Structure 1
């Protein structure tokens, strides 16, 4: 017979000998004269994860103190201050990726021990009710209050973290909402949607950011039906006021190229760089492009590396011309005159993309023209006049933008019934004209009032191509982490307050990421353990989102009996301690949540 398998009822083989049983002290304090068998234990867990880290970063940035200094609540306000409520709400937004007001109270109640310990004040869950948070948004939605907070926070961060302030960018995005129709002067209107939802109402967010970290300077809510051209001057004035200086290079797209916008920036003491594509200057742009083709000996080469593929991208740049510009302020009648440089550049990648599109257009056009020699039938017109056929062919070629490239020959074709028709007998491509067309693809024109001593032409074009920094901020604000959509608010001042609050959360993400990368570069180190698929992979460019995810799961466990409580925190690993060191946060940031007693300890078996 085989060896009999023991049953579960015979638990002697599953239980270690008494000599091997180990005990672990849990630190629960009880009186030494009490019978341990009569005690009733309570066990609670708080999933704290990245909350202590976020509170530490927010405290370092001075957000709580600045808000308390510049925001005055109404006279009946009681409990935690506005700065404290905003700090806790920021933790919820960044940790849970959820800006709903109704979800904050329960979330805080589940972590009340953590907040009370780290904030060093008796926080109540009623301090974070949806009504109180709505009042906070009303206060934060006030435009003068936002301006004071932006200036105080940004000037402090520039001084403390030694941020570069040479370049800032201006651009806008749209935020679609599902609200009902509103008044004509409302913030919510239908307009050109960058979310590809023209059926929905929207509001626009005009954002000014600071290179090279993409730190938001100001974020202004604008009515959704307004054109972008008139938004640049107010955003520029607000950003320079918040930054405390106008001696910056302002970078924007072609909508910033209006003469009045450029004149405002010159009068304010700033430099500008923008794409130049006004509809009224088509012939002027074509002239600059033709002259650039004749001056190939003076082209300068600009090479950049694609951050996604690692491919080297080549671009030719020509610092072509200088011209005088004059603008008169419409109110003060002050006259500004400056010298403007015109830069012409051609990107090989952009040119290749346009060439592929033209090749596809050429293939479709050739196929359509060859159908004109087929016999008459349903859906095919019979051309009895040569002039009509030639005019039809010329219109199709011009509509495709291939005039002079596609050549055709028409001929008279007799039919069996004794009549004749005109057909396209041959279609071919003029290779010389095609090559000339390709040479004229991919050219971009930029204008700037900087001098060659300040910025070379390749440096300016490279700076313009860093628009991805601001687009990344838009991505974080709308989809990746902060999820501003959908908006669960109706009052417009609260919508403006929510936009400012989420912009503040974006500043926390951006500045934390900048500090991490700067610290790694200064130490010559890399951060390991952020990629869950490969814990041994290291990086010198961590994202804040990955860093916050690295603090999951961390639990604060509370064991209590009859008024005696003890707290324990999940030990941090090497990656988490490395992150705290890079951010200059205390090593015991998490350990200070745990408390141990030196009195009699209740021992629990493992």
Structure 2
């Protein structure tokens, strides 16, 4: 009698990822829009993209050429499709898939899929949140490219949000819906562009598509969108917006300066938040400005204000002391240098008029005689400085304050509490960026040979975020709908688990294959079965 032959393959949480890819029909959507070449006999472009999503959400950060090793101990037939082996998912197949995504146009390809996903999940999409971030990459890209070529992004140095100005970077613009955080639009951009420019281009070229497909009411963004030209474009397209108003605008600065004399009302549902409403016509667009005061943040900022002002004022005083030791050839140069110090000083002011000290200089050695005449004179400027009390008072006045602007002039449809709630959904897109920048998420995959593949990989990374957010939304929605619970880290029942916590709880699930025929899923526990059952039949089949 022949001995049993057993094979153990790791399934863990990847069944949830594969199940969501199947539910959203990602592979079918991509294969319907991209023609597979004759060499793609084993793996289609859509299946290759799903493989990259599974790898990305496997939190291993594998490079493309290590994909076969990642899938070596995974049940590929369950996760991706019948007949696919780990060796089929090599760097050539995945590289060809990235090239095909780039040729198809990543932004438009992603947008059409995202619209289908939002409709499938029945999300109301009341507001869309727009933001951008930078991702640093290694390697020399676009070395022979035309800098005026608009067909491909240029990976170069620019303002780095990762605090890595020494590395080249690429910018990713994301737009998410405000309930589940599903990214509905992604646009790669060159590493040296700023958000103001990108936001204007997105609003100019893509806003009409969002309005027609998603029927969203508000477009939400940070202060980078609050530019006169952008606001005018939004108003012309009859798009309501909510944006943070930059405090360097003269009108906004004056409003914050009057906060101590204004009558502020408490914001319903937000403890320690107070607000006041004023009208504005910035950028020739009629708006309502809401000045908010966060008392809790105000108190915390006061603790650091003294330390910050003391550090800055001491630095300015030391600069004045250094200036007093510098020699000038004439009185006017010394006065000009003192005036420059005063202009550059933010906190310190001169207590009195500067004193100019003239010192004679002799060329000979030793002490000059009383009859010797100096060869030339050197001039030194001396002065004392102080920090006015009103400087600190002005700094304290703006603590904890911020302004939100909107062109929704209907006071019945949008009050201060609703406005603040919608704006706080901006955390969805910021959370998406934190997810994409996680050190164990596809971080090593940015070592690619071509900038075109970097652009396509950004789409794959955004698809990973879409699948992750969709899984999290479905789990939370079904737990509440079916009145079921999932244990948190303290083993207390709750209904809002993060997908990452659920993924962690799915460790230890394997597929046992006996004699290359019989398959059994082993390692399932009660809390895992709860998630599988509430998600539906397709997920049950993946874990059975």
Check the 8 A contact 1:45/1:556 in 2, yes or no.
yes
2:122 aligns with one of 155, 162, 180: 162
Work out the CA distance in 2 between the residues paired with 1:343 and 1:191.
33
2:480 and 2:30 mapped to 1: Cα distance?
A: 32
**What is the deviation of 1:423?**
9.9
Whether 1:51 aligns to 2:14 is yes
Q: What is residue 104 of structure 1 aligned with on the other side?
A: 67
Q: Highest Rg: 1 or 2? A: 1
Change over 3 Å in CA distance of 1:525–1:364 after alignment to 2? same
Distance 2:465 2:317 in 1: 56
* Aligned pairs (5 A) from 1:412-423: none
- Alpha-carbon shift at residue 202 of structure 1 (Å): 0.9
Higher alpha-carbon deviation: 184-193 or 132-141: 184-193
Task: Give the aligned partner of residue 362 of structure 2.
Answer: none
The answer to whether the 8 Å contact 2:290/2:405 transfers is yes
Secondary structure of the structure 1 residue equivalent to 2:159: coil
Change (3 A) 1:362 1:45: closer
Counterpart residue number, 2:217: 248
CA contact (8 A) 1:208 1:235 kept: no
SS at match of 2:134: strand
Q: Give the corresponding residue for 2:29.
A: 66
Change (3 A) 1:261 1:591: closer
Q: What SS does the aligned partner of 1:141 have?
A: helix
What TM-score, normalized to structure 1?
0.73
* Mapping for residues 248-287 of structure 1, pairs under 5 Å: 248-277=217-246, 281-282=249-250, 284-287=251-254
- For residues 211 and 513 of structure 1, the distance between their equivalents in structure 2, rounded to whole angstroms, comes to 14
Counterpart secondary structure, 1:453: coil
CA contact (8 A) 1:408 1:428 kept: no
Which of 398, 401, 405 in structure 2 is aligned with 1:447?
Answer: 405
Compute the displacement of 1:75 (Å): 4.0
Aligned counterparts of 1:366 and 1:262: Cα–Cα separation in 2 = 38
| The one of 459, 463, 466 aligned to 1:507 | 466
SS class of match (1:445): strand
- Provide the rounded CA distance (Å) in 2 between the counterparts of 1:390 and 1:443: 39
Structure 1 counterpart of 2:88: 127
In the TM superposition, 1:191-206 aligns within 5 A as 191-206=158-173
Cα distance in 2 for residues equivalent to 1:148 and 1:86:
13
Equivalent pairs, count: 511
RMSD: 4.0
Whole-Å separation in 2 of the counterparts to 1:101 and 1:447? 45
CA contact (8 A) 1:302 1:315 kept: yes
Cα offsets for 1:40-80 (capped at 9, x unmatched): 44332212222322222211112122112222122443223
Contact 1:317–1:344 under 8 Å retained in 2: yes
Superposition map of 1:152-551 within 5 A: 153-180=113-140, 182=143, 183=145, 184=147, 185=149, 187-236=154-203, 237-238=205-206, 241=209, 244-245=213-214, 247-277=216-246, 281-282=249-250, 284-294=251-261, 296-297=262-263, 299-302=264-267, 312=271, 314-323=272-281, 326=284, 338-364=285-311, 401-402=346-347, 434-435=392-393, 437-451=395-409, 452-479=411-438, 482-484=441-443, 487-528=446-487, 531=489, 534=490, 536-551=491-506
Q: CA deviation at 1:472?
A: 0.9
**CA contact under 8 A between 1:56 and 1:585: conserved in structure 2?**
no
Contact 1:169 1:250 (C-alpha < 8 Å) held by counterparts: yes
Q: Once the 2 structures are TM-superposed, how far is the Cα of residue 576 of structure 1 from its aligned partner?
A: 0.5
- Structure 2: tracts of 5 or more residues without a match: 328-332, 356-380
CA contact (8 A) 2:11 2:510 kept: yes
Pair 380,64 (structure 1): closer, same or farther in 2 beyond 3 Å: same
Correspondence list, 1:10-21, <5 A = none
SS of aligned partner of 2:22: helix
Relative distance call for 1:99 and 1:163 in structure 2 (3 A) is farther
- The answer (yes or no) to whether the contact 1:517–1:542 under 8 Å persists in 2 is yes
Distance change in 2, residues 1:163/1:430 (3 Å): same
Which protein is richer in strand relative to its size?
1
Going from structure 1 to structure 2, the CA distance change for 1:214 and 1:119 (only over 3 Å counts) comes to: closer
**Cα gap change, 1:210/1:484 in structure 2, threshold over 3 Å: closer, same or farther?**
farther
Contact kept in structure 2, 1:176 and 1:485, CA below 8 Å: no
